[in-house]
Chains A and B, each alone.
Chain A
């Protein structure tokens, strides 16, 4: 399972976009849902890309927590399910880091969401896809403005992640 997760981490995002597109297109299995070229499709693509990140990070943090608390919980009579729930609560700051990592990944995504979203103005045009479009149009001012906002946002997310990581582990 870990091997699968690590393999999924290396998956090219644009391929994920292609697969989701094929699934959601009119002639595809989920075509009747009509969600291709909607924000929903973009959310699906970004979520698919984010799950391996969350699994990998949560797993890495939880292995340590489990090593400390796992046996004690099980010996005290907790079912495996309750023990897992308990370590998830104990390892809270790791969860936050994992969430922020997934968010950072999602906000930076371009290829997959251009494919499944269609970059439709006012509907499925995000910061990243707009930058790609405006730059190729040669309209650099909007691209630069969005780029600045995106960079600032990414730095804020990284900063928050670092801050909470330090603060919650008392380092």
Chain B
């Protein structure tokens, strides 16, 4: 239990002082996921809408 509390305390410190490694990891995660979601959206949205309109045949 003590180890856990120590780890939690250190974790809070890392967050509070915006530890550079933490920051780097978070920024990368956000960049990758945002880009991926935008791509997924750009591809998926027209497909979903076309399917809802009863087929993609123009």
Chain A residues near B (Cβ < 8 Å): 1-2, 5, 39, 42-59, 61-63, 65-66, 70, 79-81, 83-84, 87-88, 91, 95, 98-99, 102-103, 106-107, 109, 113, 122, 124-128, 130, 140-149, 153
Partner of A98, one of B8, B44, B51: B44
Across the interface, name the chain B residue whose C-beta is closest to A62: B52
Given contacts A45-B36, A51-B44, A127-B29, 13 further A-B contacts (CB under 8 A): A46-B36, A50-B44, A66-B54, A79-B58, A84-B53, A88-B49, A98-B44, A99-B41, A103-B33, A107-B33, A127-B25, A140-B3, A149-B26
B15: chain A residues within 8 A (beta carbon): 145, 148-149
CB distance from B26 to the nearest CB of A (A): 6
Partner of A42, one of B14, B32, B47: B32
CB within 8 Å of A: which of B21-58?
21-22, 24-26, 28-41, 43-54, 57-58
CB distance from A103 to the nearest CB of B (A): 4
Partner of B10, one of A49, A55, A141: A141
Q: Are A53 and B34 in contact (CB under 8 A)?
A: no
Given known contacts A80-B57, A127-B29, A142 and B48 CB-to-CB distance under 8 angstroms: no
Partner of A62, one of B3, B30, B36, B48: B48
Chain B residues near A (Cβ < 8 Å): 3-4, 6-12, 14-15, 19, 21-22, 24-26, 28-41, 43-54, 57-58
Q: Are A130 and B25 in contact (CB under 8 A)?
A: yes
CB distance from B37 to the nearest CB of A (A): 4
Binding site secondary structure of chain B: helix
Q: Are A80 and B25 in contact (CB under 8 A)?
A: no
Q: Are A140 and B57 in contact (CB under 8 A)?
A: no
Q: How far is the CA of A52 from the CA of B24 in the complex (A)?
A: 29
CB distance from B23 to the nearest CB of A (A): 10
Given known contacts A46-B32, A81-B58, A141-B7, A102 and B44 CB-to-CB distance under 8 angstroms: yes
Q: Are B58 and A55 in contact (CB under 8 A)?
A: no
Given known contacts A84-B50, A141-B7, A95 and B19 CB-to-CB distance under 8 angstroms: no
